[in-house]
Amino acid sequence: MIAIENLTKKFPHRTQSGTQGEKTAVDGISFRVGRGEVFGLLGPNGAGKTTTIRMLTLQLAPTAGRIAYEGQDVREKAQAIKKLIGVVPQHVNFDQDLTVRENLELHARLHHMGAKERKERIDELLAYVELEDVANDGVRRLSGGMKRRLLLARALIHRPKILFMDEPTVALDPQVRRKIWDLIRQLSREQVTVFLTTHYIEEAEALCQRVAILDKGKLTALDTPENLKERLGKFTVEWDEEQGRAYKFFAQKKDAATFAAEQEAVGGILIRPTNLEDVFIEITGRKEGL
């Protein structure tokens, strides 16, 4: 569905010595995403996730590398590819002068939908995200959760084959978050490819068939959550030391138990299954983002 080869983005940047230089935001990444797959792109703040999404959604031209959708290069078939993709951005980017319904209508018109189809689809989606009551209100009046639901509805109007979601559930109630998760699973069953970035590792673990970890612009891991955990060791022992919390990973439960028995661990010791967050922190480093 999506094939990315050696994708690179460099931005102009003023170096510490004050000279003009370049900063590499995304550094030669390559991977493929299959049809109907839920694919997660994880990484610490500033790792290049949003830059990657902006390049994949044709909002930013790569410095080098190639992006192809079903074999079609984005530089040659930009209009055709834009029809295939839907985008839920990280920030709220509605037209502030239009109402909820008008914002959706603008999107539908930009995707060349006829008047009848437009109305039916908009009504259907407003009902789906439970925003019928505010359809004629200005978008400024919506609450944070309503805005995120509307972003999602807007991205789905033209029935995209690939949905990009940049931090789709940031700052949402657990209820709304669960609803969005259900929707993502539903889309995946309908063979829609979902490409998402997230800060919440448990979200990626719950949803994604495969995850990629991006660190300082480079791809440092790409696999199923199960394989990544297995590689690190399926069992985690954690306990308190003077320097802070300590972790050790084991492939076998027995080894973990033996190790735990040997530790003094005054404050108690815990043996638990390894989760994706352990993998994430091992790969991106404990001190990142501090």
Partner 1 sequence: MLYDVWTVFWRDWVVLKRRLTKFILARMVAPMLYLVAFGWGLGRSIQVSGGSYLDFLVPGILALNSMNISFNSITPVHAERIYHKSLEEYLIAPIVPDAFVLGKVLAAVLRGLISSAIIVLLAFLFGANLQLSPSLLLVLVLNCIIFAEIGFLAAMKISTYEEMSQVNTYILLPMSFLCGTFFSTQALPDLLRYFIELLPLTHTSFLLRSLAGGNGADMVSLAVLGVYAIGGFYLGSRAFRNLVR
In the bound state with partner 1, the residue whose beta carbon lies nearer, of 110 and 127, is 110
Torsion, CA 132, CA 133, CA 138, CA 141, rounded to 10: -120
| Candidate residues 6, 30, 96, 252; the one interacting with partner 1 per rule CB under 8 A | 96
In the bound state with partner 1, the residue whose beta carbon lies nearer, of 93 and 263, is 93
Residue 251: which region, alpha, beta or left (left: phi > 0; alpha: psi -120 to 50)? alpha
In the bound state with partner 1, the residue whose beta carbon lies nearer, of 12 and 18, is 12
In the bound state with partner 1, the residue whose beta carbon lies nearer, of 109 and 178, is 109
**Minimum distance from CB of 154 to partner 1 (Å)?**
8
Question: Contact between 89 and partner 1 (CB under 8 A)?
Answer: yes
| Candidate residues 17, 79, 143, 175; the one interacting with partner 1 per rule CB under 8 A | 79
* Cβ burial, residue 279 (10 Å; 0-12/13-18/19+): buried
Select from 22-30, 91-99, 209-217, 243-251 the region that touches partner 1 (CB under 8 A).
91-99
In the bound state with partner 1, the residue whose beta carbon lies nearer, of 53 and 212, is 53
DSSP-assigned letter for residue 109: H
Partners of 5 in beta bridges: 66
Question: Contact between 85 and partner 1 (CB under 8 A)?
Answer: yes
Long-range contacts of range 236-244, CB-CB < 8 Å, 24 or more positions apart?
A: 236/271, 236/272, 236/273, 236/274, 236/275, 236/278, 237/263, 237/269, 237/270, 237/271, 238/269, 238/270, 238/272, 239/263, 239/265, 239/267, 239/268, 239/269, 239/270, 240/265, 240/266, 240/267, 240/268
| Candidate residues 5, 102, 123, 223; the one interacting with partner 1 per rule CB under 8 A | 102
Compute the residue count for the chain: 290
Question: Contact between 115 and partner 1 (CB under 8 A)?
Answer: no
In the bound state with partner 1, the residue whose beta carbon lies nearer, of 192 and 279, is 192
Question: Contact between 61 and partner 1 (CB under 8 A)?
Answer: yes
DSSP-assigned letter for residue 97: T
C-alpha triplet 220, 1, 29: angle, nearest 5° = 25
Question: Contact between 98 and partner 1 (CB under 8 A)?
Answer: yes
Question: What track of x and - describes contact with partner 1 for positions 139 through 168 (by CB under 8 A)?
Answer: ------------------------------
Neighbours of 166 (CB within 10 A): 22
> Which residues are near partner 1 by CB under 8 A?
57-61, 79-80, 82-83, 85, 87, 89, 91, 93-98, 102, 106-107, 109-112
